[in-house]
Structure 1
């Protein structure tokens, strides 16, 4: 399913030195990922590492009783699969496509070989690993102490940043799963957001109409994660220079 999409649509790949990207490029392939695709289940052996372009993927912990909790999400700022696969190569949860789109993928063996041979690539991935750890740490704290309304704002904003459009293919059911709340709770929250002029709703999606208002209603976690990524990684200037109220994506 390879498509003519630039691997540099992923910001980690785009930030590589030209010779490092050239080293990886023969082993990278672009794939199209439909919504709901399960890439790995817990315990599966990881074969490919994914660098999202406009797709968003999540790692979900499925408990014995059947409840599912999202642990982390990944977009064009990062990659999926390597951190959990360096030692055991086993997935530690369900790796699922949450927003459809494209991604570059590479066989994990090729990436590990490249990391061993290319010091700058190895350092970039180490810095990304630190940023991801902070993101996960912040997410755990956010889920424990912040309201569903604030967390919903964060999810809407981060989705917009990752796909680069104000029209988000998010349903009430999607947000309920991501936030770990009832669908009726999400419906109430989105109705309130629409009444305040922050979004408009349409079948199968949400349109952001007031980003600054959403940022004002969100909690500190959204900005905290952005600041960490901007500090540790060579993210686009619009991310590093972001101020509240601006309309630019990351």
Structure 2
């Protein structure tokens, strides 16, 4: 089994062996909805090359992204281990591979493994902190820095320089109008930082994009980097 997901790669051998019979590789399609609010979270997803978005849908239909999950973590952890329904919409932002595990099997293993429980809670904490940082970012930082941050985060999560990303979804990511995103993306393209055509983004100059990004990119990234070196 090839483990592209950092969470799965961090599992102790006995935990991985216990979960392996219930792990299945799946292909996730762009736009595919994994959970709607109120759905039972009967599976946990561990993205490999896919990137999954968690959004809150407001009463007027506007969707605001609260966090994204890629190969650094897992989707549905807290809802699955507490056997609670999904709180928001969870859908595939960038299509690709993922491993899927049964929530009930995962909960059973948690009762037997303190190490798995610790790793799960650390990742759940990091995902919650990402959402909290995002709230502060949307209030305190300009759209230019937020867009650069989300582009870098998407690149990190899919592990590639080129990925599909529409202007409509970039507007959801940054919480602004599509016309504003169009202006910002065009400026980055003109400066040679990114290339953008037909819903596909290519990062050309990551170093410059890092300079454009707000501080939240490094703060969130460090949280997950720390998990890769935390013993369980």
Tell me the TM-score normalised to structure 2 length: 0.94
2:59 is the alignment partner of 1:55: no
What is the aligned length? 230
Deviations 1:58-82 (A, max 9, x none): 1111112211111221111111112
- The residue that corresponds to 2:175 in the other structure is 180
Cα distance in 2 for partners of 1:87, 1:22 equals 23
| Aligned 8 A contact 1:54 1:101 in 2 | yes
| Aligned 8 A contact 2:41 2:83 in 1 | no
Q: Give matches, 1:34-183, under 5 Å.
A: 34-183=29-178
RMSD: 1.4
Q: Give matches, 1:156-235, under 5 Å.
A: 156-234=151-229
Cα distance in 2 for partners of 1:116, 1:165 equals 37
| Aligned 8 A contact 1:124 1:233 in 2 | no
Cα distance in 1 for partners of 2:129, 2:57 equals 22
Structure 2 SS opposite 1:117: coil
Deviations 1:20-45 (A, max 9, x none): 21111001011111111111110111
Q: CA deviation at 1:119?
A: 1.7
Deviations 1:104-162 (A, max 9, x none): 11111100111111221111111112211221111110011111111110111111111
| Aligned 8 A contact 2:33 2:90 in 1 | yes
Q: CA deviation at 1:88?
A: 4.8
| Unmatched tracts of structure 2, length 5 or more | none
| Aligned 8 A contact 1:58 1:95 in 2 | yes
| Aligned 8 A contact 1:128 1:233 in 2 | no
- The residue that corresponds to 2:23 in the other structure is 28
Deviations 1:88-107 (A, max 9, x none): 52000111111101111111
Structure 1 SS opposite 2:111: helix
| Aligned 8 A contact 1:51 1:103 in 2 | yes
Using CA pairs below 8 Å that are at least 6 residues apart, which structure has the higher relative contact order?
Answer: 2
Cα distance in 1 for partners of 2:121, 2:84 equals 17
| Aligned 8 A contact 1:35 1:99 in 2 | yes
